[in-house]
Structure 1
Amino acid sequence: MGGKFKALPAGLLVLAGTITIMMVTTARAASPDYADALSKCILFFEGQRSGKLPSTQRITWRKDSALRDGSDIGMDLVGGYYDAGDNVKFHFPMAFTVTTLAWSVIEFGESMGPELQHALEAVRWGSDYLLKATSVYDVVIGQVADPIADHSCWERPEDMDTPRTSYAINQTNPGSEVSAEIAAALAASAIAFKDSDDEYSAALLERAKQVFDFADKYQGSYNSSIGQAACPFYCDFSGYVDELLWGAAWLYKATNEDGYYWNYLRENINSLEPIVVRNINGNTFVGASFAEFGWDAKHAGINVLASKWMMNDSSNAAGPYILNADKFVCSILPESPTKSVSYSPGGLLFKPGGSNLQHATACSFLLIVYAKYMEVANKVVQCDSFVATPSRLIDVARGQVDYILGNNPLGMSYMVGFGEKFPRKIHHRGATLPSIEAHPQKLGCRGGDQYFESDKPDINQLTGAVVGGPAEDDSFQDSRYDVPQSEPTTYINSPFVGLLAYFNATNFSK
């Protein structure tokens, strides 16, 4: 989401439901190469690495960067991920990226084959960093780098000389949403590493408990504590109760169902906001919270995650989790009388705001996970008069995945390096600027402008990057100036990893 020349679309084009259903359910072309897409989707995270790069680094045009992060407060904060096309480490979306990447491994790791090791390496690059960011008791680092200064320059991460300010959350300046999301990420990572590195898994879990307790004990929003460093880039619009419940849900799962975390969920679930109000480019959007899932709002994720336990316990089957997870499904499926999303003529899901493919990948991931739970429980979802089976959820999710990979009116893959036609001018500093090897001389703050403004394709290929995606009419401007369409983000790719692993396995088995 970071970057220069920010602009978000003012509204949504609402399409007729009949046309939408027809377009979404039409026969599709041959399946894309999910295995290749999975490999590249995971590879992308190596291009987003900050810090000292390992000898195994595969995107070799990237080099070491930000090696003094944390020095302003006497901490080692070297590492982690740049969230998008800029050089800021926004910990709120970074933690969500790690959570969903770990969830992809937990649910579909067995379907990743040789890519499982690379997926775990991507999780660990994030979880190692989050351990650093929480290494001081009752302190959580919420962000590194001044975003205003960073966004005023177009320079390589290897060259950047803008302030690398560390923004701390503590007892007097709380930030429950970023702290609880980090707790969720650490707990999910603990599960992901349980079979391969039990000692590391245990360390992650202990830290997750500690950070969750801090987030819960000192409640408040990082919007106030970090101020303009967080807003308008990653403001928390949905409040922090959802992150606290999200963290508790992951800790319940990671601790093998510790009653403390279940009681926390049970006692606080009714405190979730019934609606989410977002301000996007000066426009206000209001949505039912059960339909929201992304770096800001965790509501649908909580319900889907918790529904697995409820489906196995008939005494609690009428609880809010399954009911709200069902409502989420009904808000997405094109045939549903209660859907709250729109679809492009070519069948792509749309929700308000920029970087739309974050919604398509996150919502599709939840559909697949919920379908998996439904199959085990022999369950269907009733959307008024329409009955949705697990296979229907899977079919809708597959349609989104295939669209992103090229089965769309333009025949364009929105994953860089996948297929023959893909974005060539993405909003990403490292991709647009010559590498250190090709241009050893420093490129200062304005030194990169000529490359940004050039109409030539990117100098470096950020393989696997999924960009923000097309407009509601399926058109796409392959332009660095069009940030919502051309900028990749880690939280678009992280749930896409799980989707690709699932469809690769199911496609192979057919």
Structure 2
Amino acid sequence: MGHPTRILAALCLLFGAQSALAQVSSPSSAWQPAPSASGTVVPSSSSGPNSQWLEVLGSNLYYYDEQRAGVLPDDFRVDWRNTSVLTDGAVANVNLSAGFFDAGNFIKALFPLTYTLSSIIESALLWGEAYSSSSQAYYLDETLRNGLDWLMEASSQTDTLYMFVGDQTAYWGGDLNIPQPRPVYSVTRENPGTDVFASTATTLALGALLYSGKALPLSQSVNGTLPSSLRNTTYADSLSNRAVQLLELAFAATPMQVYQKAVDDIAWAYPSTDYDDELILGAAYTAMATGNISWVTTAIDTYSTNAYPPTFGALNWDSKRPMVPTTMAQLALFLPGADSRLSFTKFQNDSEVWLDALVAGNMKDTHTTPGGLFWFKGNSASASLNPALNAAVLCLKYAPMASTSAKTDAYRQWAQKQIDYALGKNPMNTVYQVGLHPNSAFNPHSALASGGTDLARINTSPPQELHVLYGAVVGGPDEDDKYYDVRDDYDQSEPALDTVAPMVAISSYFVGQGQSASNPFFVGLTAPRIIPKRPSSGLSGGAIAGIVIGVLLGVALLAVLGWFCWRKRGRNAYRRRKMGL
């Protein structure tokens, strides 16, 4: 780094930049991902966790270092990353320089970040011993503090939450030349974002549980395990207090509305559908973190008036509805007797409405691709692996709480099929986590890693990705199981904070099983990758014909408007517009 950058870094630290320093003792030597060829080595039968699942978990956490923003220490383990965006938030007198870059470019988006952190924290509240046994607790702590500290800074001004940094600037390049200044966007009491107030409260409450040493229940008789080295009651209290403030704001600020109603300028990115799921989750986890029974009542009241349980729909950064009944079941086990309506059996039954439809294959607007990937209509067209893996995590999390052993087995078996698919058991013989195996996806859509600066020649400049983006989980294949592995197909090839999060949970689950864990599918994968020839137009013949007919009939405008409305669902609204391609 050049001298001016070091001066800026020093100033940021002097005037209150988040340090994101882990409290866990750092390892004597930094953990680094193994070469991809190591993915073919069968783990030994020695004691301890399965070494290949450990590699998946370690690489996943390494990805969050690759995405880290702000001041990086001199001994930072990702040697190709640099200190960056030190003035983020300065225009609003708030320091938003740290945190994470969201995906393949350089925005910072709070809404998917809160989902990402919540997912990782929950894995540590259920299967936390995995992080200790794999010597990854230090990196877990680093990752979480970088994200949680950023949320604390973003919510540090009274009745204000800064929830987006950046814009649609089509910059393609490394971290040293990111265009400045970068705009910041906020919601306030007067112009609220109910969903982001509540989702931030959820994440901070979960963080408070973790750092106070309170595990979540795995079942009616067993609690989860914790990485005990993370315990810090002072930090936990700070997180808990802020969670309460934000949740009170979410319920009190009017009108209740999704955040893009307040900040239309960022409606192009991660638009929110509703907010009742965030309110319930926020109240439930805040009740667990604080022991305040009034939040239990609030969670039940909100649940009862918002058409739960759901019968269909994907689980992702936008819609958490499928996980809400399971969280309420956890709440019933965590605070038994807190409210006469807090019945574990009721929420157990509600949880299984969605899960039973999922594993039976009769859920509305879903099907399974020919190769075995579960597909959610209107959601899986972009980042197809993400909703399937999120559902797999929910299956693994809920299985021990199921009403019958048969259901426990069914949920785990369904999850295993989706996990195997992502890790190589698919028609392309592709491992969709970068760097794990010779068959791993190798061309992720990442401005940071590509080494290119020419957006017009994104696929060929350079022809080979400059840096291996270890641990990244790409979007995934299309509905015909085809994966082209090209940078400009960001629906398929772009990793993001939230596409990696379910794999963190999955790998921690398997690491926690020790030597009893079956090897990840890629270990025995010897068949060569299949990389299909990409259609030159990027559109199917039917799509082309449809466009032509639309033009001839004079209804192109109507078709475009319909397409736009449909694409606003899920991540699609972000993917298709964010890079200006």
Q: Same fold (TM over 0.5)?
A: yes
Whether 2:43 is the aligned partner of 1:36: answer no
Whether 2:392 is the aligned partner of 1:364: answer yes
Greater relative CO (CA pairs within 8 A, separation 6+): 1
Q: Percent identity?
A: 27
Mapped to 1, the partners of 2:383 and 2:308 lie a distance apart of 24
1:302: Cα distance to partner?
1.7
1:304: Cα distance to partner?
1.1
Distance 1:450 1:132, change over 3 A: same
Counterpart position of 1:332: 358
Conservation of the 8 A alpha-carbon contact between 1:425 and 1:457: yes
Whether 2:498 is the aligned partner of 1:491: answer yes
Mapped to 2, the partners of 1:120 and 1:331 lie a distance apart of 36
TM-score, structure 2 as length reference: 0.72
Counterpart position of 1:454: 461
Mapped to 2, the partners of 1:414 and 1:303 lie a distance apart of 30
The residue identity in structure 2 corresponding to 1:359 is P
1:82: Cα distance to partner?
1.3
Conservation of the 8 A alpha-carbon contact between 2:311 and 2:357: no
Counterpart position of 1:61: 80
Mapped to 2, the partners of 1:244 and 1:186 lie a distance apart of 14
Mapped to 1, the partners of 2:88 and 2:314 lie a distance apart of 33
- Aligned with 1:380 (options 389, 392, 404): 404
Distance 1:366 1:471, change over 3 A: same
Conservation of the 8 A alpha-carbon contact between 1:32 and 1:405: no
Whether 2:364 is the aligned partner of 1:346: answer no
Alignment of 1:10-409 (within 5 A): 33-112=52-131, 113=133, 114-146=135-167, 148-149=168-169, 152-195=170-213, 196-218=231-253, 219-229=256-266, 231-237=267-273, 239-255=274-290, 257-272=291-306, 288=310, 291-310=313-332, 316-317=342-343, 321-333=347-359, 335-338=360-363, 341-352=366-377, 353=379, 354-374=382-402, 379-380=403-404, 388-409=406-427
1:233: Cα distance to partner?
1.8
The residue identity in structure 1 corresponding to 2:106 is N
Conservation of the 8 A alpha-carbon contact between 2:385 and 2:476: yes
Whether 2:433 is the aligned partner of 1:411: answer no
Q: What per-residue deviation string (whole Å, max 9, x for no partner) do you get for residues 187-218 of structure 1?
A: 11111222321211111111111111111111
Does the residue aligned with 1:345 lie in a helix, a strand or coil? coil
1:120: Cα distance to partner?
2.2
Distance 1:449 1:198, change over 3 A: farther
Mapped to 1, the partners of 2:184 and 2:484 lie a distance apart of 35
Mapped to 2, the partners of 1:187 and 1:483 lie a distance apart of 33
Conservation of the 8 A alpha-carbon contact between 2:192 and 2:257: yes
Mapped to 2, the partners of 1:356 and 1:336 lie a distance apart of 17
Q: What per-residue deviation string (whole Å, max 9, x for no partner) do you get for residues 243-262 of structure 1?
A: 1111111112212x421110
Mapped to 2, the partners of 1:116 and 1:394 lie a distance apart of 26
Conservation of the 8 A alpha-carbon contact between 1:330 and 1:339: no
Mapped to 2, the partners of 1:336 and 1:403 lie a distance apart of 17
Does the residue aligned with 1:168 lie in a helix, a strand or coil? strand
Mapped to 2, the partners of 1:351 and 1:57 lie a distance apart of 39
Structure 2 runs not aligned, ≥5 long: 1-41, 44-49, 214-230, 518-581
Whether 2:474 is the aligned partner of 1:467: answer yes
Q: What per-residue deviation string (whole Å, max 9, x for no partner) do you get for residues 107-128 of structure 1?
A: 1111232112212221111001
Larger Rg: 2
Does the residue aligned with 1:480 lie in a helix, a strand or coil? coil
Mapped to 1, the partners of 2:333 and 2:289 lie a distance apart of 18
Does the residue aligned with 2:68 lie in a helix, a strand or coil? coil
Does the residue aligned with 1:193 lie in a helix, a strand or coil? helix
Distance 1:338 1:240, change over 3 A: closer
1:477: Cα distance to partner?
0.8
Q: What per-residue deviation string (whole Å, max 9, x for no partner) do you get for residues 342-369 of structure 1?
A: 2222222221321111112211111111
Mapped to 2, the partners of 1:199 and 1:394 lie a distance apart of 37
1:373: Cα distance to partner?
2.6
Mapped to 2, the partners of 1:166 and 1:500 lie a distance apart of 35
Mapped to 2, the partners of 1:95 and 1:243 lie a distance apart of 11
Mapped to 2, the partners of 1:478 and 1:52 lie a distance apart of 32
Conservation of the 8 A alpha-carbon contact between 1:331 and 1:340: no
Q: What per-residue deviation string (whole Å, max 9, x for no partner) do you get for residues 374-423 of structure 1?
A: 3xxxx228xxxxxx421221122122222212222222110010111112
1:451: Cα distance to partner?
4.9
Counterpart position of 1:478: 485
Conservation of the 8 A alpha-carbon contact between 1:69 and 1:144: yes
Q: What per-residue deviation string (whole Å, max 9, x for no partner) do you get for residues 42-72 of structure 1?
A: 1111111111113452222111111001111
Distance 1:451 1:479, change over 3 A: closer
Does the residue aligned with 1:350 lie in a helix, a strand or coil? strand
Counterpart position of 1:426: 444
Counterpart position of 1:504: 511
Distance 1:204 1:310, change over 3 A: closer
Structure 1 runs not aligned, ≥5 long: 1-28, 276-287, 382-387, 435-442
Conservation of the 8 A alpha-carbon contact between 2:312 and 2:364: no
TM-score, structure 1 as length reference: 0.81
The residue identity in structure 2 corresponding to 1:208 is A
The residue identity in structure 1 corresponding to 2:484 is Q
The residue identity in structure 2 corresponding to 1:305 is T
Mapped to 1, the partners of 2:346 and 2:175 lie a distance apart of 45
The residue identity in structure 2 corresponding to 1:497 is V
Distance 1:368 1:67, change over 3 A: same
Counterpart position of 1:437: none
Conservation of the 8 A alpha-carbon contact between 2:201 and 2:247: yes
Does the residue aligned with 1:81 lie in a helix, a strand or coil? coil
1:171: Cα distance to partner?
1.6
Mapped to 1, the partners of 2:345 and 2:511 lie a distance apart of 34
Distance 1:122 1:110, change over 3 A: same
1:324: Cα distance to partner?
2.7
Mapped to 1, the partners of 2:392 and 2:362 lie a distance apart of 19
| Number of positions where the alignment pairs a residue of Structure 1 with one of Structure 2 | 442
